[in-house]
């Protein structure tokens, strides 16, 4: 037996390779930033997903440790680890879905935009790898500021000639998860019964919960609307402050990321009626990117839904969201073009 069979030294038993190829309905998934606060629980949850046959864990630190650990779970997916830039190509080749939680998180007092300087470069490098090694993969981008990193990824793919807007999805599912939880609390319902569409983007006022469209149908007082909207918009900051410098949301984010990855895989599999909110290339507003409900299919986000009827409160929120979003999108685009 090789000393570290999961680290891609090529000597793992043939039987494992057979298993990796054999799982008929399995997809190949890579996590970039897999050793981080989000990456580790995300890797664990993806290893538990029966739709995954191969799981590649890439990071610039500690990938071998996380890989050895996760690989002992007795679930179907074959796990392989990849450490550092020189192994990025190996991590990406052949992947159906690439999930990116690489980059630094917020500390108290920081906005998501404060992360731009460092994370923009990380996302660029990783997306160049995707363009080269798995240009047809679906990309789930978690690294903040999502409102800028998605436009960055789009520009990298355009430059490489591989851009398919349907395949690039900014992950906003944590906003939906939080909205479902907080709304359920106010309504006295089980959060699993509640569905709140959250549109716009993924930072502060760009996070726009559409409380007038909550399922099951319900109504809120003005105070409840204000409380809920603000709490959903500031949910990330709530966690950042509670962690007092030790990072931002990681466990709830890993949960939300897996929920979203799962709908992407179900779409790839060809399931009907798979719908979730995501930050995508969009014609729903005048902005080139916007988060709204999308239908996921074999080729990615195959349909981007209109916002539906908004009330006065939401219309005002939408105008605020668009103003900030426009700047963040432009910042991302300029980072690559200039
Ligand atoms: P973390 O610092 O715990 O982990 C980040 C990981 O990325 C580390 O293991 C680090 O080694 C790795 N990394 C750094 N540079 C890399 C590179 N060039 N290639 C591959 N990996 C690299 O941070 P955490 O808490 O996991 O957060 C990650 C990102 O997710 C942050 O940008 C954070 O703001 C964002 N985030 C996004 C949310 C969303 O809703 N979209 C919610 C919460 C966090």
pLDDT of residue 7: 58
Q: Is the ipTM of this complex over 0.95?
A: yes
Q: Hey, whose CA ends up nearest to atom 24 of ligand 1?
A: 37
Q: Hey, whose CA ends up nearest to atom 2 of ligand 1?
A: 104
* Range 68-72 contact pairs with CB under 8 angstroms and sequence separation of 24 or more: 68/4, 68/6, 70/43, 70/44, 71/6
Residue 175, token pair as written in the block = 């906003």
CB distance 278 to ligand 1 below 6 Å: no
CB distance 249 to ligand 1 below 6 Å: yes
pLDDT of residue 21: 46
Contact 131, 171 (CB under 8 A): no
Indicate the average pLDDT of the chain: 94
> Which of the listed residues 34, 44, 82, 105 should we mutate to test ligand 1's pocket, taking the one with most ligand atoms within 8 A of CB?
105
- Active site includes 202? yes
Alpha-carbon span 202 to 191, nearest angstrom:
21
Q: Is the peptide bond before 67 cis (omega within 30 degrees of 0)?
A: no
Q: Rounded to two decimals, what is the model's pTM?
A: 0.95
pLDDT of residue 151: 98
23 CA distance to ligand 1 middle (Å): 30
Residue 3: is its pLDDT beyond 50?
Answer: no
203 CA distance to ligand 1 middle (Å): 16
Alpha-carbon span 63 to 273, nearest angstrom:
36
> Residues 19-66: pLDDT tens digits?
544 445 699 999 999 999 999 999 999 999 999 999 999 999 999 999
pLDDT of residue 23: 44
CB distance 257 to ligand 1 below 6 Å: no
CA geometry: angle 314, 319, 321, nearest 5 deg: 85
Nearest to 164 by CA among 141, 140, 136: 136
Neighbours of 252 (CB within 10 A): 17
Alpha-carbon span 128 to 260, nearest angstrom:
23
Place 6 in a pLDDT band, splitting at 50, 70 and 90.
Answer: low
DSSP string, 249-305: --HHHHHHHHHHHHHHHHHHHT-SS-EEEEEEE-SSSSSSEEEEEEEEETTEEEEE-
Cα-Cα-Cα-Cα torsion 33, 36, 41, 46, nearest 10 degrees, comes to 10
> Residues 84-125: pLDDT tens digits?
999 999 999 999 999 999 999 999 999 999 999 999 999 999
Strands 52-59 and 78-83: parallel
Q: Using the atom order of ligand 1, give the atom closest to the CA of residue 122.
A: 18
> Residues 162-221: pLDDT tens digits?
999 999 999 999 999 999 999 999 999 999 999 999 999 999 999 999 999 999 999 999
Alpha-carbon span 122 to 235, nearest angstrom:
25
């Amino acid at each position: 037996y090789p000393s570290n069979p999961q680290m891609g030294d090529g000597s793992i038993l043939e039987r494992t390779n057979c298993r990796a190829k054999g799982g008929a309905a399995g997809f190949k998934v890579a996590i970039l930033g897999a050793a981080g606060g989000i990456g580790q629980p995300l890797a664990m949850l993806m290893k538990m997903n029966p739709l995954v046959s191969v799981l590649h864990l890439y990071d610039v630190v500690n990938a071998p440790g996380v890989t050895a650990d996760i690989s002992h779970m007795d679930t179907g997916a074959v796990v392989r680890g990849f450490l550092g830039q020189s192994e990025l190509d190996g991590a990406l080749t052949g992947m159906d879905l690439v999930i990116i939680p690489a980059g630094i998180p917020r500390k108290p007092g920081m906005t998501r935009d404060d992360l731009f300087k460092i994370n923009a470069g990380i996302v660029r490098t990783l997306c160049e790898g995707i363009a080269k090694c798995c240009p047809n993969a679906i990309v789930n981008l978690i690294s903040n500021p999502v409102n800028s990193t998605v436009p960055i990824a789009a520009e990298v793919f355009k430059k490489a000639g591989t851009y398919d807007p349907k395949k690039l999805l900014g992950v906003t599912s944590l906003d939906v998860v939080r909205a479902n939880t907080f709304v359920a609390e106010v309504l006295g319902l089980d959060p699993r019964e509640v569905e709140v569409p959250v549109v716009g983007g993924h930072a502060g006022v760009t996070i726009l919960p559409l409380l007038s469209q909550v399922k099951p149908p319900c109504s809120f007082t003005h105070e409840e609307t204000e409380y809920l909207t603000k709490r959903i918009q500031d949910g990330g900051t709530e966690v950042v402050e509670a962690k007092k410098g030790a990072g931002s949301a990681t466990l709830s984010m890993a949960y939300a990321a897996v929920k979203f990855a799962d709908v992407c895989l179900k779409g790839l599999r060809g399931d009907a009626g798979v719908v979730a909110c995501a930050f995508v290339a969009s014609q729903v507003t005048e902005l080139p990117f916007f988060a709204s409900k999308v239908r996921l299919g074999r080729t990615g986000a195959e349909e981007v839904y209109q916002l539906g009827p908004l009330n006065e409160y939401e219309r005002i929120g939408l105008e605020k969201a668009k103003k900030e979003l426009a700047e963040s999108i432009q910042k991302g685009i300029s980072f690559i073009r200039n």
